[in-house]
Structure 1
Amino acid sequence: MTSFASVHAFEAALANLRDPDAGAAADARVRQGELTKPAGSLGRLEDLAIFFAGWQGKARPQIARARAAIFAGNHGVTVHGVSAFPPSVTAQMVANFANGGAAINALSGAAGLELTVVALDLDRPTADFTVAAAMSEADCLDALNRGAAVVDADLDLIVLGEMGIGNSTAAAALCARSFAGGVAGWVGPGTGVDGHGVARKIEVIERALAFHIDAPRSAFETLRRVGGREIAAIAGAIARARQLGVPVLLDGFICTSAIAPLAAENPAIAGHCIAGHCSAEPGHTRLLDLLGLVPLLSLDMRLGEGSGAAVAANIVRSALAAHDQMATFAEAQVSASL
Structure 2
Amino acid sequence: MASKSTRDKRASSTKDDASTHGKETDTGATVRRQKAIQSRVDARDEEKPKKTSEKSPVQAGEGAQPENPLPEQHLSKPGHEHMLNPAPKFLAPHYLGSGKLQGKVALITGGDSGIGRAVAVLFAREGADVAIVYLNEHQDAQDTRMYIDREGRRSLAISGDVRDAAFCNEAVAQTIAAFGQLDILVNNAAFQEHCDSLEDLTDMHLQETLQTNIAGYFHMARAALPHLKNGSCIINSGSETGLFGHKGLLDYSATKGAIHAFTLSLASQLLPRGVRVNAVAPGPVWTPLNPADKSAEDVAKFGADSDMGRPAQPEEISPAYVFLASPVTASYVNGVVLPVMGGPGG
Which structure features the higher share of helix residues?
Answer: 1
Fold shared, TM-score > 0.5 on shorter chain = no
Please state which band the TM-score falls in when normalised by the shorter chain. Answer: 0.3 to 0.5
Give the TM-score of the pair, scaled to structure 2: 0.35
The structure whose Rg is larger is 1
